[in-house]
Amino acid sequence: MRRQILIVLAIIVLIAALAAGYSFLRQGGSVTPPAQNQPETDENIDSITPVPSEDSAPTDENDSSSEAPFANTPSNPASGVVDTKVMASPINDATSRVTKKPFGIKVSPASSPVQPERFSGYHTGVDFEILLGEDDPDVPILAVCEGTLIYKNYVSGYGGVLVERCKLDGQDVTVLYGHLRLSSIAKNVGENIKAGERVGVLGTGYGQETAGERKHLHLGIHKGTQVELKGYVQSQTELNQWLDAMKYLS
């Protein structure tokens, strides 16, 4: 009797195995392993707003790091660092105004593109000329970088002058803005100047405000931290102490 029961059980097991094999073959004969570390899918997952983790940096609504004044400028407002070839424009339509005296041009009373001329030597700055219709209106001048005002005075050959100290391309420089109306410079020595901030207006041409020169902006960038007022030097070696502003504006 016991033997018969075992035979029946064996037949049942065999039938079950055959049925499982038949089902396997109908499904194509392959098994797909379960995915590892895959998130569960939810039909409404697109409507879920992820919650920042505790490790995420907090977001400051007043953070302006993504809205720097100059595109692609890793600037440091505290130190006045401005990336190479990205510098604030000192005057509206700056690049179109450099038509007479670019950086490094050698002039003399006989050869100068500006007549009459009373200076000789290599030009240490860039001259930005006024445009048609700007003889009388105030022409605003803006700071090219963030720094500190270190000099403000009337200077022979310039008229009103403002000099600020800042960093440009990672090095200390002083920036001279020449031919300004001295009374238009509201900042005082020692005060901070922001890049793009209005520092004054051009002086009236051929008068005291420009020391008898035409109405224009002379922008000189000198290496180092000391005030340097020279508008011309007598050798290329001396000229190496200045930077061409156009390389930072173009």
CB contact set of 42 (below 8 Å; sequence gap of 6+): 48
Strands (E), 196-249: 198-201, 216-223, 232-233, 242-243
| Whether the predicted pLDDT of 74 surpasses 50 | no
Nearest to 242 by CA among 155, 171, 150, 142: 171
What are 119-169's pLDDT values in tens digits? 999 999 999 999 999 999 999 999 999 999 999 999 999 999 999 999 998
Give the pTM.
0.68
Residue 134 is given by DSSP the state -
> Which of residues 191 and 20 earns the better pLDDT score?
191
**Within a 10 A sphere around the Cβ of 98, how many other Cβ atoms?**
17
The CA R_g of the chain, rounded to the nearest whole Å, is: 37
Share of the chain above pLDDT 70, in %: 66
Question: Integer distance in angstroms from the first to the last C-alpha of the chain?
Answer: 104
According to CATH, the topology of domain 73-249 is Glucose Permease (Domain IIA) (2.70.70)
d(CA 96, CA 119): 24
> Which of residues 240 and 51 earns the better pLDDT score?
240
For residues 79, 84, 86, 90, the Cα torsion angle rounded to the nearest 10 degrees is: 70
172 strand-pairing partners: 167
Going from N- to C-terminal start, the domains of the chain cover: 73-249
Phi, psi of 138 (to 5 degrees): -65, 135
What are 17-32's pLDDT values in tens digits? 555 554 444 444 433 3
Going by their DSSP bridges, the two strands 198-201 and 121-123 should be labelled as: unpaired
